[in-house]
């Protein structure tokens, strides 16, 4: 079951807006189908890339409803963030408690008190809370905790130790786009990658190439995609990704909501060039 649910490249969907500033649900649905057509293994609704903090409750629910409908139709995995209740068959993407820095014992207690299928989102440069290898192993043993989106901003000793002996039945998914190739090389089960909006098939190819053991081809492709990801994250996510998607004609506008501002034209043009070269 885990191999089917949490393996491969998952795309954390942006939330497109129309010319009037409303959520463009039809564009969101098309985008979800497009990335699945290009080989994505699943979708994430209301991750950071989806700007959930700028959406009202009705908009957040509408986004989840669209993603759930597409996932049901396509038989793919759906993760749901922002504290929303996942619909039937979906999995919660649960952030390590941010800002309060509860300590590792507090993080374990927090997830042990929860229920239902969950993937932990570990992003210490946003939450302020580090986790050791030993603590991640304890989290993996909690019933209902199926995996982790691992986005520490580095491939360090903790990463190497964790992937050298991964907890059984626990998915390790890379969450730093530019580092996904070394994560896959070390044995990660896949990745949750915003960059895969605009280069879905290439990221899927990277995953499959590492799995096939073609090290030379994987290194070459991984280096190219790391450059693409760096360009897409040159300004706050998802501003550049939205600019590229709009330039490709896939969403009606490149608009974001405050506190984000639209990506600059030079940054957007550079990313578009790298994506389409």
The answer to whether the beta carbons of residues 261 and 25 sit under 8 Å apart is no
272 in catalytic set? no
**Locus of tokens 């998952």:** 10
- Residues facing 192 on adjacent strands: 10
Active-site pick, 125, 149, 242, 272:
149
* Rounded CA separation 277/274 (Å): 5
Active site residue 121: yes
Name 174's Cβ contacts closer than 8 Å, sequence gap at least 6.
149, 150, 151, 180, 183, 184, 188, 190, 191, 192, 193
Could you say which of 121, 150, 242, 272 is catalytic? 121
| One-letter-per-residue 3-state SS of 105-168 | HHHHHHHHCCCCCEEEEECHHHHCCCCCHHHHHHHHCCCCEEEEEECCCCCCHHHHHHHHCCCC
* Helix (DSSP H) and strand (DSSP E) numbers for the chain: 12, 8
Supply the residues annotated as catalytic: 121, 149
């Amino acid at each position: 079951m885990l191999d089917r649910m949490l393996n491969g490249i998952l795309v954390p969907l942006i939330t497109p807006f129309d010319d009037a500033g409303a959520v463009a649900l039809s564009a969101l649905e098309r985008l979800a189908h497009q990335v699945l057509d290009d080989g994505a293994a699943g979708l994430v609704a209301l991750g950071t890339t989806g700007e959930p903090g700028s959406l009202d409750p009705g908009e957040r629910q509408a986004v989840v409803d669209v993603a759930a409908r597409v996932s049901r139709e396509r038989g793919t995995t759906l993760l749901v963030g922002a504290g929303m209740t996942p619909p039937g068959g979906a999995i919660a993407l649960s952030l390590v408690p941010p800002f309060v820095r509860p300590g590792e014992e507090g993080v374990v207690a927090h997830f042990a008190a929860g229920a239902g299928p969950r993937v932990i989102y570990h992003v210490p440069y946003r939450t302020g809370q580090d986790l050791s290898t030993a603590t991640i192993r304890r989290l993996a043993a909690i019933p209902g905790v199926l995996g982790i989106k691992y986005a520490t901003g580095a491939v360090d000793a903790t990463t190497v130790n964790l992937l050298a002996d991964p907890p059984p039945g626990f998915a390790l998914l890379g969450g730093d786009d530019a580092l996904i190739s070394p994560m896959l090389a070390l044995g990660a089960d896949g990745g949750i990658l915003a960059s895969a909006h605009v280069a879905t098939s290439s990221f899927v190819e990277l995953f499959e190439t590492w799995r096939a053991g073609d090290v030379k081809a994987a290194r070459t492709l991984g280096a190219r995609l790391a450059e693409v990801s760096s360009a897409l994250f040159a300004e706050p996510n998802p501003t550049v990704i939205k600019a590229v998607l709009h330039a490709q004609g896939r969403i009606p506008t490149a608009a974001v909501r405050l506190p984000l501002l639209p990506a600059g034209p030079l940054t957007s043009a550079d990313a578009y060039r790298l994506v389409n070269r």
